[in-house]
A and B are shown apart, each in its own frame.
Chain A
Amino acid sequence: GENVEQHPSTLSVQEGDSAVIKCTYSDSASNYFPWYKQELGKRPQLIIDIRSNVGEKKDQRIAVTLNKTAKHFSLHITETQPEDSAVYFCASKAAGNKLTFGGGTRVLVKP
């Protein structure tokens, strides 16, 4: 089945700097890659997603890039703010319409 690796597991950045989280996937048939933000004790929130026919997608301060050849995708957060502090999960959808999640990245934005 699909395997998703996510790095780094923790990321500490200074407010205003950029944060980048990287994920790799194993199934070349995967065609959908969402990113979720989960604050402590809260639900995972879908913040951005990308489909396999697109290389990059941007929404205000967040962007996602996809490299299908290398089977990796990344989340970029620019001008980080304290409210960006949370755990971020990447996921991929392969055959069977099943989402497989990465292990998560704990992001801490220091003011």
Chain B
Amino acid sequence: EAGVVQSPRYKIIEKKQPVAFWCNPISGHNTLYWYLQNLGQGPELLIRYENEEAVDDSQLPKDRFSAERLKGVDSTLKIQPAELGDSAVYLCASSLAGDGFEQFFGPGTRLTVL
């Protein structure tokens, strides 16, 4: 089966510019996660979707970050405006159910903010 797809794989922007990342989960997976991974660290959850509903966004910095999953399939994560500290890898993951078991990750988008 096809895995989680993310684009772009790499993005370089100037600070204060907007940026968006796209994710398409594994077919049939109702739960979608966005994680942030800083260099040398483990992933940290930003937001979790059950179908089109954001059920856990407590770690999402809502002043500059937003996300949507309008039709309950693919999702977009946006940062506006980007700051230097946002440089990291943004990982998307999906799982079949909302119980958190067996999460499968995409390849990530490596963001560099100059």
A residues adjacent to B (C-beta < 8 A): 4, 6, 32, 34, 36, 42-46, 49, 51, 89, 91, 93, 96-99, 101-104
**Which single residue of chain B is at the shortest CB-CB distance from A97?**
B100
Question: In the bound complex, do residue B48 and residue A42 qualify as a contact, i.e. CB atoms below 8 Å apart?
Answer: no
Question: In the bound complex, do residue B99 and residue A97 qualify as a contact, i.e. CB atoms below 8 Å apart?
Answer: yes
For chain B, the bracket of interface size reads 20 to 34
Q: A89-B42, A101-B42, A104-B41 are in contact. Are A43 and B105 (CB under 8 A)?
A: yes
Q: A97-B48, A97-B98, A98-B48 are in contact. Are A46 and B42 (CB under 8 A)?
A: no
Q: A45-B105, A46-B104 are in contact. List 5 more A-B contacts (CB 8 A).
A: A6-B42, A43-B3, A46-B103, A97-B99, A99-B100
Q: A34-B103, A42-B107, A97-B99 are in contact. Are A103 and B48 (CB under 8 A)?
A: no
